[in-house]
Amino acid sequence: MNLIGGQWLPARSGRTMEDRNPADGDDVLGDVARSDGDDVDAAVAAAKAAYERWRATPMPARGDLLRRVGAFLERDKDELSRLMTREMGKTLKEARGDVQEGIDFAHFMAGQARAPMGETVPSELPRKLSMTLRHPIGIVGLITPWNFPIAIPTWKLWPALLAGNCVVLKPAEDTPLCAQRLLELLIEAGLPAGVVNVVQGIGEEAGAALVAHADVGAVSFTGSLDTGRLIAAECGRQMKRYSMELGSKNVSIVMPDADVELAVEGIAWGAFATSGQRCTATSRVVSLHPEFADALVDKVVTYRLGPGSDESVDLAPLINRAQRDRVMDYIRVGREDDRARLLTGGHVVDSGELAKGNYVAPTVFADASPSMRIAQEEIFGPVTAIIPAGDLDEAIAAANSTQFGLSASIYTNDVNAAMRAVTELEFGIVYVNAPTIGAEVQLPFGGMKRTGNGFREAGPHALDEFSEWKAVSIDFSARLQKAQFAEGE
């Protein structure tokens, strides 16, 4: 259902789309509204009608809403996690982590509601006080992906709401019900009608209409580089703000002195958690360690594949058949390139019950060169490529040799190597002796180069996506004072 002005409604056209379980294609969760421009128009109009009142609500009162919704998410964490596993596929443990990110960020942002929101600044003139204030954008459009169906909508919703905006959310078509449950909890927490509206549907229809709507002042998008380019072009044409969290090709460097067991554990987790469907997934490893590749394979071959609802499963299904085919295409590209060797995996797993889902075996390539397609393009599946390097200079150069720059890590006990990696890696997130995944919500999340356009989500900087700076000066001299002019001029 769509949420428009506080009411749950079907699409105006009456059209629907199916919502299926990635582990069991026969399990249909429901038929969901498939919206178009008419629904977007109604949602934006509802957001506009609610805006003045919401903008005028004191920030701590807006923060209270987030505190309350955080508590409800905590209360319903188990139920939501189960829904997420059924709708999106990831393991229950990971689904709980996804919901927990939303809870943590609700509490973090609720606290920000009472933090300083600007600065006082000296004036060059006497009896004049200057300060900076944050001002909301107005109506913002949020377009979110399926891989973190609760966490990512909350990364955008909480700061957008705290900053005083009204919202139209277009959730991913693969995870509409997670978004609907999240909104039900927001309503229970006291969300005023129209402050957040939801239009379910597909990107080319509902998403495109939202981006193009003249009354939407900013668009926040997480997804692929290709879609990001389309959105950026339209926003640029209309001169509206856009913040982009796009693809990446993350990397872990394993130095010869690394604790190889720790590196294997961390990189296996980074590469194969969520079956590699994270924008922070470790899809490349630059290894200088002679034992690393074999040790990684020894670990990966023990992985159990199956539905995420089975607590003993390590690798859950991919989101849908199209994604499985896409991942298999990349594996074929890797196999056809003589520069790399397939060490393990490389095939679909569809025996017995698994035939109902979209499973690909965890796949490791070795001897890859940095310029290969599997080392350059985002795969979003359980595939990683090991690139050899002779020394740290070469390793850092290989790590930096992509158009993306979200998350990187280095495994070493050498402080000089670690500090060089920290300062020289062109990535927005860098870890030492830890995986590329697992970002915490109090830190800025975002990437360099083509991973984004400079904004950061989470952390206190999240408000920058959703507010304008206003420079305010109050002259209490009761005379005309001219900046940049000497007294009496």
Residues that bind ligand UN1 (CB under 6 A): 101, 147-148, 152, 222, 278-280, 437-439
Residue 372 or 437: which CB sits closer to ligand UN1?
Answer: 437
Exactly one of 173, 235, 279, 465 is catalytic; name it. 279
Smallest gap from Cβ 437 to ligand UN1, in A, equals: 3
CB of residue 147 vs ligand UN1: minimum separation in angstroms? Answer: 5
CB of 429 to ligand UN1, least distance (A): 8
Determine the Cα–Cα distance for residues 341 and 334; give it in Å rounded to an integer: 8
The active-site residue, picked from 87, 94, 173, 245, is 245
Q: What are 3's two structure tokens?
A: 């949420």
Query: Between residues 51 and 404, which has the closer beta carbon with respect to ligand UN1?
Result: 404
Shortest separation between residue 414's beta carbon and ligand UN1, angstroms: 25
Closest CA to 103 of 62, 158, 142: 158
Token pair listed for 477: 């001299």
Of 285, 316, 314, give the one whose Cα is nearest residue 408: 285
- Residue 99 CB, shortest distance to ligand UN1, in Å, is 12
Nearer to ligand UN1, 35 or 147 (CB): 147
Pairwise CA distance, residues 410 & 231, whole Å: 34
Q: Which is nearer to ligand UN1, 102 or 136 (CB)?
A: 102
| Greatest pairwise CA separation for the chain in angstroms | 90
> To the nearest whole angstrom, how small is the minimum distance from the Cβ of residue 439 to ligand UN1?
3
User: Which whole-number Å values give the CA distances from 444 to 102, 212, 459, in the listed order?
Assistant: 15, 28, 5
**Comparison of 35 and 175: residue with beta carbon closer to ligand UN1:** 175
Taking the least distance from each CB to ligand UN1, the nearer of 35 and 407 is: 407
**Beta carbon of residue 407, minimum distance to ligand UN1 (angstroms, whole number):** 7
Nearer to ligand UN1, 65 or 439 (CB): 439
**What is the rounded CA–CA span in Å between residue 438 and residue 278?**
10
- 279 catalytic per annotation: yes
Which pairing describes strands 341-344 and 128-136: parallel, antiparallel, or unpaired? unpaired
Catalytic residue list: 245, 279
